[in-house]
Structure 1
Amino acid sequence: MGNIFGRETETSPPPRELPPVLAATRQPLYYGRDLPYEDPFQNRGVPQIQDPRPCVFYARGACFRGTACRFSHEGAADTSSTKNSQKPCHFFMRGHCRRGEACNFSHEQSSVQEATKATKDDDCAESWVRELGGAWVKFGDGAAIIDVSLPSDFSTIQIRNLPTTASASSVRDLLSEVGIPVLISDIRYIKPKDMPNGFATVKVKDPEFAKTACSRLQTVIEPPGLEVSSMRVPIPPGFHFGQVDNRQVRCSWHRPTRTSSLYFPNRKAASRSFYKFKGEQYKINGMKATVQSLVAEHPGQQNGRWKIDLVGMSASITEDDIASAFPSFEKPCLITIGDLSYEMDIEMDSTLVKSMLYEKGELEKWNVSDSSTAKRIKAQATFMEECHAQIAASSLDGTELPFNHTGKLFVQLITSVKFKVSARVYDTVKKTIDSHISNWNRQFIRYSALPERGFNRILKIEGEDRQLVAQAKRDLEKIITGTVLTMDGKNIWYSNLKISKNAYRKLQKIERDLEVVIIRDIRASNFRAFGPDGRLAQAAEALQQLIHEIKAGDHAIKKAVATVKRQQLETDCPICFEEAEESLETSCGHIYCSLCFFNMCQAEASTSGEFSIGCMGNSGTCGKIIQISELQTLILSETFENILEHKGNSSEDIEELIKAKEGLGAKDCPKCTTALQKAEGCNHMTCIACGTHICWFHGSFV
């Protein structure tokens, strides 16, 4: 697409050449001179293109501009995609869409079911890899350990300029042609919206893979123009929770504005209004107006009208909006409204900005937020690499916009942190978190809690000041990590604790009365409490008393299963053989008490050697291994993570790894805890996993 804002008719300055990647994405707003209306860009040197590019939205059957669209509508449109059924209504999925038949999105049950299934699939797309002892431990169904590896065991390549028809399968075939077999699961293909080509990252558990692949793919003729390079090994999904992420940038640019000129009968009247706008006594639609140029209408005049200019006015401003700001006796005698500062096309403009970012590095995400009431259009981009985000922020901030030569692009590097916490804990600590929000807002730190997914909530804090975000991270971590309950300076703990239903009801009463949540941490051998600080001491006393009661009697009472007289019902829990309380159901159809299921999972995790959590239904004969994604939905996230960490840290592989690290003098990265070894050179090192610069001698950030 051509540059619609060049200047041909003026000899100075010469027309500015756009970079090829930008020139390829920009088209003029009008293509010929035979239009029934005047071309507003005629004097701006607009290149005349006779054959416009096809409209991608028309091709999808989704162009709402009709004959007013500046792109070609030749060829058949895919009308099937224009139906609302292609995009289900998220509110209807939740059961409470208030628009009914007037809703623009689909209320068809089939679409809703497909969307719900897709959402569930996305939620379960986690890799189930955890960092333990500097190693990557992968868990499978039943929370069993299926693999232990180091970041150095992997290598990664990135393939760019892939054709529009590319996919993960075609990338696998391409590597297979050069004698490198890989799995589909090793490939991540990304095709950014509105960009001509896609790219793929391939991560393989082979340290020599990147070197071999880069060498062999250089000889590939088809597809042409491929670019292949090695890159640092990406951190597995889920590792970013609790870790600082500096890969995001926030972009913004001003919406089109108008300048309005206000004429007054004399200098005194104009001056009075000028200073009232300066002092914010006069506002336009309740908003402050920027006033400039208190000047005479004609230079050198002795008497006559004077004018002031209001700049940066909204594109939709009207003369009545401006006149309503004045009392009747001070209204200007004439109000004129100028042209727009530039013609806006949000889709095209945002694509141009996105292209500028792509010149600095590959993007993982791109979101545009366009509010008609905001003065700026905002977008947020997430780069694949942290260094590319830093380069984009430093080199693009304040640069000229390709579609508005008088406007600038503003780019700020954003530091963010995400935490995953159970909804039960979140509901308890929400008031404590809310008490920090006003202070975070004053520091321009944004806090958000994403909608509930299953038992979990995702909490996010982000801001431009890295130090302030780090402090907010420590404050939030302290709240959601809870407080270890102690008595007389010692952790409250009972290793043989078997909570009966009667004791569990007493524990629930403690939680309700004190408005706290108490969680048993088998990994750390303690109890953690969440809630107001003033009630934690009471919670410790009540819990200690409950444990004394259990020691005195409840834990010594064993129920003889052989003496059970009544027939077991389908609604009975297979652990306690009573009717299930606060029941949950496994995918194999067996029902448990939530407490019994929790105790069963913790008991399995506490066993030595290999283990996997299986169903005890049908009198213990079911034995089906419970999928790890199902385990995550059935128990609290804190309990789930405790089970994984407890079992992972106690595995023989991890113990051997820790001994090997000590023998080799390896240290953990202070950011992502990846194991590092210094072979030679100075003490300035870079983590191979997260790219953090560290001092080897002090073990701290550089």
Structure 2
Amino acid sequence: MAPPSKPLCIFFARGACRSGEACRFGHERDTGTHSRSRPVVPIYPPLGTPDINSSVTSIHEAQGPKANNLPQRLPDSRNEVPCKFFLQPGGCQKDSCPFLHVTQGPQSVSTNGQGLESNEDEEPDDLSRAFSGASVQFDEFGHVLKISLPTDYSVACITGFPPGTTSEAVVDALHELGFDLNISQVRIPSQGLESEIRATVKMENPLFAEELSSTLRKNHHQLSAAPLAIATKRTDGRKVYISWHKAARNAWVNFGSGEIAKRVAQKFNEGRYTCLDRHVKSSTAKHSSSYGRSYKNAVPWTITLSDVPREATVAHIQRAIISSCDEPRHVEMGEPNYKASDAEVSVEVRSRLERYGPLENFQIACTPKGKRVKATAWFQNEADAMSARYLDDVQLPILGKGKLTVAQVFSVKVKVSKAIYAASKTRIEKEQESWKEGKLKLRIYTDSEQRFALLKVGGADAEAVATVRNKIDRILSGEIITDGGQALWSPGFSINGNASRKLKSIETELDVIIIRNKLKRQLRFHGSPERLQQAVIRIVNLVQQETTSHHKIDLQPHSLAWAVQGGFRKIEQALGVNVAVLDVVSRRITINGTNEQRTLALSIMQNKNASEAQHVMDNTSRPNEACPICFCEAEDAIKTACEHTYCLGCLEEYCKSAASNMKEEFRLKCQGDEGNCSANFTLHELKVDISSSAFDGMLRSSFEEYIQRRPQSFRCCPTPECGFIYRCATTSGPRLIGYRCPGCFEPLCTSCHAQHGEYTCAEYKDIASGGLEALEKLKKELNIKDCPKCSTAMEKVYGCNHMTCGGCKTHICWVCMSVFESAEPCYKHMLKEHDDYTN
């Protein structure tokens, strides 16, 4: 017959019994209440975006089929906190451990902040940029698809809707008033149930807000509307940081001595005593009355511990008081300030955020030692992230009396080669000290191939983040090496020959980086400012030595075409590697060698000694992996998808300068196979291969070329150094009265493009006519005419009457100023109408 069972020990159930085997009460586990035994749950990385709901479900499913038979009670939130002993050598030795035993599967999910940032940095580029006060969308090859200006849109804030109004109801109400829109253009920020609903509507019509406001006033409608200002995007502000206090409780600790109570309180406040690795606060020791909460108090001194982790038990408090001299007589635990688990709270927080707009991502950082749960959310639209700030300091019922902290974060990223970053690191770190005052953070990452460094600046102030970005750009762009105000350059720097090798040795000796810009014929210095002058002295001597051995051959147009289409390759093969340099910009071949080599190059060009040249060519090995831009062996080689190899510097400069040579759509054509390769580079390919400054410079040049060729649609603000663009007024479109440039805040007329203040266009033209007449007379004397299309002034010095506008690239007949799309119809026109190409 089985012995009668003992009554269960309530202190053992709390984990606080100190009698051990001598206890006269039972220490069996009460399976009728809840089991603290935790199974081993394997965690693998999710296939898609992390989903809090799915992670909660998996934990409950892992508890087995018996879980459904347990009485309904709040789950022990410790089962979602990883056990810190489980993955250590020997593992967790406690079968009844209440914490989660996690086995790391292949490619396990990173839960620290660094991992979160790495995932974020791998987000795909949406191929949109903010240039000159405009939002510009590009296609996959870099051509401008759409330009959006703040003045193209209008945002109205509409009030007067009853509580419970949905976006669909707002759309229906505006449809009845004659405005055509859809649900995606409506935002309803979260508000109290009793408060009046406020909706914001954004439409691609600059007069929408004023027209809606006027319509509502005229009809004496219950609704009212007011225009809202639209900010110009300068940084990425789609991210918000959210945090809330972890569930905590109080604990009352009793002592028989006031001296011990005061000593323990001090140790908790100083952090010498912690509970579950978390700092807890203690009140001052108080002398208790003779009766406690439910018993006669024999220990009259009490301290109250606050911010005690919810998971803590009496045993944890007792173990926290390490010294045997400080041992308490009794510990009593209070109730948690809220009962929901971190996962349940995060689901509620995410649903609150999604009321402001769709989320792109939502992640929680695992911070077991901190007092707050921290999460990061990425909105699809920056305006929604800005609206979500209304949740800051808002009380959530699920948190009891706890409040959320919500902060919008702005960030920018700069991609640069690791060598340039290493040379500029000291200057950046010196600047970084001043950024801390603005609570700005700089983080450094490397790409998967370890070729580039990614600098990311983040902070709550968008203007401060943009200012720091500009400072970093200036540092990373380096200093142009000059002597007497002139850029130092030698033709020998254009090839990887003797001069470039000596330049490399200067870099090594001074521990600096010197970048050769072959297209601009410049050297850029990266390194300590103290060593710049040393570099200048050595490079001046190097240039003087190299000048004596250079021979220049100027190329006529037909000779340049011959050289580019394969002729220069013959010269290079005849003279040897790194002897001849072809400079397409200056239309010149430079021979770094003897007079005999110059004579041989001329003979090849004139085909006077083809057999001898051919004999030399047959005995000269062709350079491996030659760059199709500089025709030299590729330096910092980049291999493209079409299997051609470029110098990194040549490819970057080609990308930034290619827009000026485009006739219609922007396309970056590979120059391999002597210019016959049919492949076009995509932006996704180039983004991997070149630095962010070169990539953004290429997109900016595509954008600027697009603007220049459309003077009827876009103009640049005439204020010096403003740089913003505006959309020209048309007879069919809405005209903006009182337009002010958002860059310089100067008033500007979008019709006549003058800054004439309160005057009308006709009045201003009449006032300015005297000065205009004098200007026109001077231009006629100097043979200067304005482009009929964009009004760019042009001067014809010599040559035929076919002119190409430097602004919009249109083709013009100088005699009658007729405009053509290409050169051929212009020449036909001159023969037909003027009998000749020249006067």
TM-score category of the 2 structures, normalised to the smaller one:
0.5 to 0.7
Deviates more, 1:315-324 or 1:351-360: 315-324
* Other-structure match for 1:516: 512
d(CA) in 2 for partners of 1:120, 1:415: 14
Instruction: State the Cα deviation string for residues 438-476 of structure 1 (Å, max 9, x = none).
Output: 664565432212342665443222234667656645543
Instruction: State the Cα deviation string for residues 194-226 of structure 1 (Å, max 9, x = none).
Output: xxxxxxxx999x869999xx9xxxxxxxxxxxx
Aligned counterpart for 1:675 among listed residues 711, 726, 738 = 726
d(CA) in 2 for partners of 1:607, 1:544: 34
1:482 equivalent to 2:478? Answer yes
* Other-structure match for 1:589: 643
Instruction: State the Cα deviation string for residues 127-175 of structure 1 (Å, max 9, x = none).
Output: 265736x6666666776x56574537977999x9999xxxxxxxxxxxx
* Other-structure match for 2:681: 626
Percent identical pairs in the alignment equals 22
* Other-structure match for 2:414: 419
CA displacement at 1:676 relative to structure 2: 7.0
Instruction: State the Cα deviation string for residues 638-691 of structure 1 (Å, max 9, x = none).
Output: 4444455456546683584798445xx689988xx453789435x8x695xxxx
In structure 2, the CA distance between the partners of 1:522 and 1:595, relative to structure 1 (3 Å rule), is: closer
* 8 Å contact kept, 1:423–1:452: no
Deviates more, 1:367-376 or 1:575-584: 575-584
1:312 equivalent to 2:366? Answer no
In structure 2, the CA distance between the partners of 1:380 and 1:667, relative to structure 1 (3 Å rule), is: farther
CA displacement at 1:104 relative to structure 2: 1.0
AA aligned opposite 2:737: E
Aligned counterpart for 1:251 among listed residues 242, 254, 266 = 242
Aligned counterpart for 2:440 among listed residues 445, 469, 488 = 445
* Other-structure match for 1:397: 392
* Other-structure match for 1:263: 254
d(CA) in 2 for partners of 1:289, 1:157: 48
Aligned counterpart for 2:626 among listed residues 573, 579, 582 = 573
* 8 Å contact kept, 1:400–1:409: yes
- Per the alignment, in what secondary structure is the counterpart of residue 424 of structure 2? helix
The within-5 A match list for 1:54-73 is 63-66=58-61, 68=63
The within-5 A match list for 1:37-436 is 37=33, 63-66=58-61, 68=63, 103-105=104-106, 125-127=125-127, 131=131, 145=143, 149=147, 151=149, 243-278=234-269, 282-284=273-275, 288-292=279-283, 294-298=285-289, 304-318=299-313, 319-320=315-316, 322-383=318-379, 388-393=384-389, 395-436=390-431
CA displacement at 1:398 relative to structure 2: 2.4
In structure 2, the CA distance between the partners of 1:667 and 1:448, relative to structure 1 (3 Å rule), is: same
Deviates more, 1:632-641 or 1:550-559: 550-559
Instruction: State the Cα deviation string for residues 514-535 of structure 1 (Å, max 9, x = none).
Output: 3333345689885433222222
CA displacement at 1:499 relative to structure 2: 0.4
Query: Considering only CA atoms, is the larger Rg found in Structure 1 or Structure 2?
Result: 2
1:653 equivalent to 2:653? Answer no
d(CA) in 2 for partners of 1:491, 1:473: 29
Instruction: State the Cα deviation string for residues 360-410 of structure 1 (Å, max 9, x = none).
Output: 4554543322311221011233445656545543x4332222212132212
CA displacement at 1:263 relative to structure 2: 0.8
- Per the alignment, in what secondary structure is the counterpart of residue 556 of structure 1? strand
CA displacement at 1:539 relative to structure 2: 3.1
1:533 equivalent to 2:533? Answer no
Long gaps (5+) in structure 1: 1-34, 39-55, 74-101, 108-118, 164-179, 189-201, 215-229
* Other-structure match for 1:199: none
Q: TM-score, normalised by structure 1?
A: 0.60
Matched positions, count: 543
Instruction: State the Cα deviation string for residues 466-515 of structure 1 (Å, max 9, x = none).
Output: 67656645543443343333333x25165978601113333333333333
d(CA) in 1 for partners of 2:443, 2:705: 36
* 8 Å contact kept, 2:274–2:320: no
CA displacement at 1:262 relative to structure 2: 1.1
CA displacement at 1:61 relative to structure 2: 12
AA aligned opposite 2:644: H
Aligned counterpart for 2:670 among listed residues 609, 615, 625 = 615
In structure 2, the CA distance between the partners of 1:253 and 1:645, relative to structure 1 (3 Å rule), is: closer
* Other-structure match for 1:198: none
Instruction: State the Cα deviation string for residues 608-641 of structure 1 (Å, max 9, x = none).
Output: 8568543344455434333343344344444444
In structure 2, the CA distance between the partners of 1:512 and 1:130, relative to structure 1 (3 Å rule), is: farther
- Per the alignment, in what secondary structure is the counterpart of residue 351 of structure 1? helix
* 8 Å contact kept, 2:440–2:465: yes
- Higher normalized contact order (CA 8 Å, seq sep 6+, divided by chain length): 1
d(CA) in 2 for partners of 1:542, 1:424: 21
Let me know the Cα RMSD of the aligned residues.
5.6
* Other-structure match for 1:77: none
- Per the alignment, in what secondary structure is the counterpart of residue 131 of structure 2? strand
In structure 2, the CA distance between the partners of 1:438 and 1:344, relative to structure 1 (3 Å rule), is: farther
d(CA) in 2 for partners of 1:274, 1:695: 60
In structure 2, the CA distance between the partners of 1:398 and 1:524, relative to structure 1 (3 Å rule), is: farther
d(CA) in 1 for partners of 2:619, 2:167: 67
d(CA) in 2 for partners of 1:470, 1:369: 27
In structure 2, the CA distance between the partners of 1:232 and 1:538, relative to structure 1 (3 Å rule), is: same
AA aligned opposite 1:589: E
Aligned counterpart for 1:501 among listed residues 484, 496, 503 = 496
